[in-house]
Homo-oligomer: A and B are copies of this chain.
Amino acid sequence: MQTTSSNTNSNTNTLCKLFAINFPIIQAGMVWAAGGKLAAACSNAGILGLIGAGSMSPALLREHILKAKSLTSGNFGVNIPLLYQGAKEQIQVALSCGVKIFFTSAGSPKNYTPYLKDKGATVVHVTSTPELAIKCQEAGVDAVVAEGFEAGGHNGRDEITTMVLIPQVVQAVKIPVIAAGGVVNGAGIAAAFALGAQAVQMGTAFVATMESSAHPNFKNLLLQSKADSTMLALKKLVPVRLFKNCFYQQVKELEERGASAEELQQLLGKGRAKLGMFEGDMVHGELEIGQGCALLKDTPAIAELVARLKQEYQDAVAALPSF
């Protein structure tokens, strides 16, 4: 087997160049887990860290950006879910702090891409379908994250898995594709690259790190998780992959008897994600996490995790048979 690494190693990988990183991994901007400390640690380890603005007020986002800046001289970005009211203000805050990399999600790529590109920013939008990937390209984004059904948190309605989504998005667009959903170790990175991705975005594995701001109770719970520990739920609101705790069981009961969106919204209430992931209530909290949590074995420091991922990737590639 011959390798054709001439145009694919870290020096020439399009996304390594775009983000000025050494290894094409993006740490997802997860709510309640991805603050300035985590993003900076990732940037210092040669991958791209993202601050998850989805759980932050504009003022708190500013604090986290300034914290990250104090901890790294490397590149980091912000993830802005466009479905929240504060998105516009968050974007202003990030721009005013000098952030140059924006991952946007949960909204139309048309809304802010031209504006952000005009400000000189790099823009990546998250998609769960090939059709939206094409719209992202038309809106002028630099790359797309194609996120499969196995991913944690908010998810697409069509339940398209990473295995079948990535090749379709790669075929649909000319811009680079970042694979997300179910990628938690180096073997998963190799699989994503085999499917045509040029980088991966990983969330779940980074929730369970020392630098993540997720509550220790949540990190410990993840280490005990099994293959069937998560399920896509709340499909009548916005589909979201949840850890199957007591709160999830309440959701499930309602859903099985055909409850309306209003009933589900009433059960969900406000602040449940913070209660679980940040404050550590594993019973009543909403615990957003990917299906790959079953593969987690420890809560390493970022530098250790990144070195391990690189080694696992190399091992997985080297073990591929030729026929």
A129 touches B228 (CB 8 A): yes
Instruction: Give the contacts of A172-199 with B (CB-CB under 8 A).
Output: 181-185, 187-188, 190-196
Cα distance, A192 to B181, chains bound together (Å): 15
B9 touches A291 (CB 8 A): no
For A4, A129, A130, A256, the residue with the greatest tally of chain B CB atoms inside 10 Å of its CB is A4
For chain A, which range describes its interface: under 10, 10 to 19, 20 to 34, or 35 or more residues?
35 or more
Cα distance, A165 to B187, chains bound together (Å): 12
For A191, A256, A292, A322, the residue with the greatest tally of chain B CB atoms inside 10 Å of its CB is A191
With A2-B318, A9-B323 given, name 18 new contacts (CB 8 A): A3-B322, A5-B321, A8-B321, A8-B322, A13-B321, A149-B149, A160-B227, A161-B181, A164-B294, A165-B227, A167-B187, A167-B188, A187-B194, A193-B321, A194-B317, A194-B320, A258-B258, A317-B320
Question: For residue A196, which residues in chain B have a CB less than 8 angstroms away from its CB?
Answer: 187
Question: For residue A322, which residues in chain B have a CB less than 8 angstroms away from its CB?
Answer: 3, 5, 8-9, 314, 317
Cα distance, A161 to B291, chains bound together (Å): 8
Question: For residue A295, which residues in chain B have a CB less than 8 angstroms away from its CB?
Answer: 164, 167-168
Question: For residue A321, which residues in chain B have a CB less than 8 angstroms away from its CB?
Answer: 5, 8-10, 13, 193
Chain A interface residues (CB < 8 Å from chain B): 1-5, 8-10, 13, 22-24, 129-131, 148-150, 158-165, 167-168, 181-185, 187-188, 190-196, 226-228, 231-232, 256-258, 291-292, 294-295, 310, 313-314, 316-323
Cα distance, A257 to B1, chains bound together (Å): 55
Question: For residue A320, which residues in chain B have a CB less than 8 angstroms away from its CB?
Answer: 3, 8, 190, 193-194, 317, 320
Q: Which residue of B lies closest to A315 (CB)?
A: B4
Cα distance, A296 to B149, chains bound together (Å): 20
Q: Which residue of B lies closest to A241 (CB)?
A: B159
Report the copy number of this chain in the oligomer: 2
Question: For residue A182, which residues in chain B have a CB less than 8 angstroms away from its CB?
Answer: 161, 163-164
B161 touches A316 (CB 8 A): no
Question: For residue A184, which residues in chain B have a CB less than 8 angstroms away from its CB?
Answer: 164
Q: Which residue of B lies closest to A290 (CB)?
A: B164
A23 touches B323 (CB 8 A): yes
Question: For residue A159, which residues in chain B have a CB less than 8 angstroms away from its CB?
Answer: 149, 231-232, 291
A168 touches B294 (CB 8 A): yes
Given contacts A257-B258, A323-B22, contact A164 B313 (CB under 8 A): no
Given contacts A187-B194, A228-B129, contact A318 B3 (CB under 8 A): yes
Question: For residue A158, which residues in chain B have a CB less than 8 angstroms away from its CB?
Answer: 227-228, 231
For the complex formed, measure the closest distance between the CB of A264 and the CB atoms of chain B, giving whole angstroms. Answer: 13
A291 touches B4 (CB 8 A): no
For the complex formed, measure the closest distance between the CB of A177 and the CB atoms of chain B, giving whole angstroms. Answer: 13
A4 touches B167 (CB 8 A): no
